[in-house]
Amino acid sequence: MPRVALKADDIEAFRRKATAAAMRLFAQHGYDGVTMRALAEELGVSAMTSYRYVAGKDELFALVRAEAFRRFGDCLASAGGRSVDPSERLLRLKKAYIGFAVDDVDAYRIMFELRAPDDANTEAAEQVERESRRAFGYLHDAVRAAVEAGELVGDALAVARLLWASTHGLVSLHLAGRLSRRALEELAAIDHELAGFRKPKRRAR
């Protein structure tokens, strides 16, 4: 008897469930510790069922990373509204970045700590790249606005990358148990990273 063709909605629904389950598995066991059989057991389906919806482990991992970056980007988008002044916008983005990292640790670790041996050349892998660029784009846009407003000086892309790296460093220290949650939140409220990029104020004569 021929296999019934899968409907697009059914594929999408299964892939959403698979992504949610795999997010937990990859966060707990790392890339090497997860198999398609383990995913099937987590979902309560046969070992081969998952392969009808997901090509294999590489695509599964790409789907998970794309979802993690999507959540991250949405978090930054909601925090970095254009109605506030550039400095406040940057501070809100920093707090949102840190808030996401401590509230959705699984997604954060998967985004920045786990890597597959080789990136799969799939639509899901391309989605990872798109969502990653989108997330960083909110910070880049905010820094560019601050430079254009005369609040910061320097190349917007370089400054954005330095701010991203600084905030990532704080989060990494916290997740490694070297920085308390309280200390992390206190540092999140300080914009010391921007001190070297502030436009010097003219002294009154």
CATH number of the domain residue 177 falls in: 1.10.357.10
Residue 106: inside a domain: yes
Highest mean pLDDT among 18-32, 85-99, 178-192: 18-32
The confidence band for 9, taking pLDDT boundaries of 50, 70 and 90, is confident
User: What is the pLDDT averaged over residues 82-100?
Assistant: 87
Query: For residue 133, which amino acid is it?
Result: R
pLDDT tens-digit series, residues 53-87: 998 999 999 999 999 999 999 999 998 776 678 88
Q: pLDDT at position 201, please?
A: 59
Q: pLDDT at position 1, please?
A: 38
Gap between the Cα atoms of 11 and 14, Å rounded: 5
Q: pLDDT at position 137, please?
A: 96
DSSP three-state, residue 153: coil
- Phi, psi values for residue 152, rounded to 5°: -125, 155
Gap between the Cα atoms of 74 and 63, Å rounded: 16
**pLDDT score of 122 more than 90:** no
Q: pLDDT at position 118, please?
A: 64
- pLDDT more than 90, % of the chain: 64
Q: pLDDT at position 77, please?
A: 94
Residue 95: inside a domain: yes
As for how many domains the chain has, the answer is 1
DSSP three-state, residue 168: helix
Gap between the Cα atoms of 127 and 163, Å rounded: 24
Structure tokens, 147? 């430079």
Residue 30: inside a domain: no
What sections of 30-155 are H helices per DSSP?
Answer: 36-43, 57-79, 86-103, 105-112, 123-148
Pairwise pLDDT comparison (185 vs 65), residue with the higher score: 65
Residue 128: inside a domain: yes
Q: pLDDT at position 196, please?
A: 64
Residue 46: inside a domain: no
Per-residue CA distances from 51 to 24, 25, 30, 48, 60 (Å): 19, 17, 20, 6, 10
DSSP three-state, residue 1: coil
**pLDDT score of 119 more than 60:** no
User: What is the pLDDT averaged over residues 159-180?
Assistant: 93
Residue 81: inside a domain: yes
Residue 42: inside a domain: no
Q: At what angle do helices 57-79 and 105-112 cross, to 10 degrees?
A: 110
Q: pLDDT at position 2, please?
A: 43
- pLDDT more than 70, % of the chain: 89
Q: pLDDT at position 83, please?
A: 64
Residue 147: inside a domain: yes
**Domain housing 104:** 58-197
